[in-house]
A = this chain, B = another copy of it.
Amino acid sequence: MPSLSKQTFVSPEDVVAEKIVVRKDSPRGVHFRRAGPREKVYFKSEEVRACVVTCGGLCPGINTVIREIVCGLNYMYGVDDILGIEGGYRGFYSKNTSQLTPKVVNDIHKRGGTFLRTSRGGHDTQKIVDNIQDRGINQVYIIGGDGTQKGAALIYQEVEKRGLQVAVAGIPKTIDNDIAVIDKSFGFDTAVEEAQRAINAAHVEVESVENGVGVVKLMGRYSGFIAMFATLASRDVDCCLIPESPFYLEGKGGLFEFVEQRLKENGHVVIVLAEGAGQEYVAQSMHTVDGRDASGNRLLLDVGLWLSQQIKDHFTKVQKMAINMKYIDPTYMIRAIPSNASDNIYCTLLAQSAVHGAMAGYTGFTVGPVNSRHAYIPISRVTETQNIVKLTDRMWARLLASTNQPSFLNSDEVMLGKVDRAIIEQINNRKITSI
């Protein structure tokens, strides 16, 4: 038990509240078990045979999670027998495993990508659990996104059904930050940081020419978190388009009008765009070009290319105004970098939580911070819904306040503005209040 004696144990009774912004009379709500080392450990060190697998797309920090699962098991619990599953789920049944030791993984957190390689799909519950059983594995650490965690839930259920004493732990991975319940997913912070380079480049390009229009496409298929945070961090963005907030191009209050206005005011405009934004338009375009060859269509699926072309066509043909379009897609350059310090620490916490949970004999759980405290969450809770940017949320309000972009909503809100003003004037005789 190398260093566990130095740990402060977490009581199995400790829980973390899902909701913390409350009113005086609000009910207690859902709570999760707090993550951390338990005084009572289920597995004997020498009996553990763990395995680690990574699935899906790249994300900064995967290697740190792998490293810290291995080092955590070894340094904190004296576990020696840890297998690396190669190339995603299908690696369970179609590839050799490798032995993971602290020495082997010592420097991998300084590199991007995944040391264990990855793939999409390949999930075959029966084959995987057969393989777990045959190899005598009793701890399974699964790093992956939404689809991967659904697969993990199936493995957990099958393991239960067969009555195996195997702990199944999921570490949720998605650069998009769209996982429910938990505060944020690992790699997200690094991604937002790295996205600044692309936004800066777009800004410099458009500032240096006449009527410069910069379009930067960022990750986010169903949620606009990266686009939103990257916009807030940069302060050089005029407009941020995300899947959660529909927009339209033409007419009053549309994007073209806004772009034209900013070009008149500043001579340039920068648009940040989540890859999932405006997919309904791209799909429409696809339809109209039907009959064309596959390659052409595939290219048009890219909303960034599509929007750049739309803006270019509008200003060239309709407005007879020459614009300088600069389109940047930094996706791979963001995904492939190593995690920053903040994500390194975060990945360490996730990995250690997972290890403590599995060693304590918990199974069927994922790990993650809930209101900044690490907790164990049933896998099904994180896969049943997806986290999206709520348009009524404070953070989106902050973004709108900072970009002053159109809301792409109908015109009732003009009224609202008037009402606000009225109220403000009314209360002007209030006395200033100490907190």
Contacts and interface: CB of A to CB of B under 8 A. Distances in A.
B326 A332 contact: yes
Contacts of A195: 341
Copies in the complex: 4
A270 B202 CA distance: 26
Nearest to A6: B400
A1 B219 CA distance: 34
A364 to B, nearest CB: 5
Interface stretch (A40-48, A144-152, A254-262): A40-48
A319 interface: no
A154 interface: no
A7 B420 CA distance: 11
A219 B342 CA distance: 17
A407 interface: yes
A15 B25 CA distance: 11
Contacts of A193: 340-342
A180 interface: no
B328 A333 contact: yes
A373 B113 contact: no
Contacts of A118: 208-209
A209 B398 CA distance: 32
Contacts of A372: 20, 183, 371-372
21 contacts: A40-B430, A41-B423, A41-B427, A42-B430, A58-B208, A72-B401, A76-B401, A111-B204, A112-B201, A113-B205, A114-B208, A196-B341, A204-B337, A205-B332, A205-B336, A233-B342, A233-B345, A292-B296, A329-B329, A363-B433, A363-B435
A424 interface: yes
Contact of A341 (B2, B233, B364): B233
A113 B6 contact: no
B345 A113 contact: no
Interface stretch (A123-131, A171-179, A271-279, A389-397): A389-397
Nearest to A425: B44
Interface in A145-195: 156, 160, 165-167, 183, 189, 192-193, 195
Nearest to A167: B432
A1 B210 contact: no
Contacts of A58: 204-205, 208
A280 interface: no
Contacts of A433: 361-363
A13 B24 contact: yes
Contacts of A328: 332-333
Contacts of A349: 398
A39 interface: yes
Contacts of A160: 434
Nearest to A414: B5
Given A20-B373, A349-B398, A420 B1 contact: yes
A365 B435 contact: yes
A71 interface: yes
A434 B364 contact: yes
Interface in A293-318: 293, 295-296, 299, 305, 309, 313
B20 A209 contact: no
A21 B31 CA distance: 10
Given A156-B434, A230-B341, A234-B344, 14 more contacts: A1-B424, A4-B420, A6-B407, A8-B393, A14-B21, A16-B20, A20-B371, A160-B434, A183-B372, A229-B341, A234-B341, A292-B292, A326-B332, A349-B398
Given A233-B345, A363-B433, A433-B362, A40 B423 contact: yes
A3 interface: yes
A287 interface: no
Interface in A347-361: 348-349, 352, 357, 361
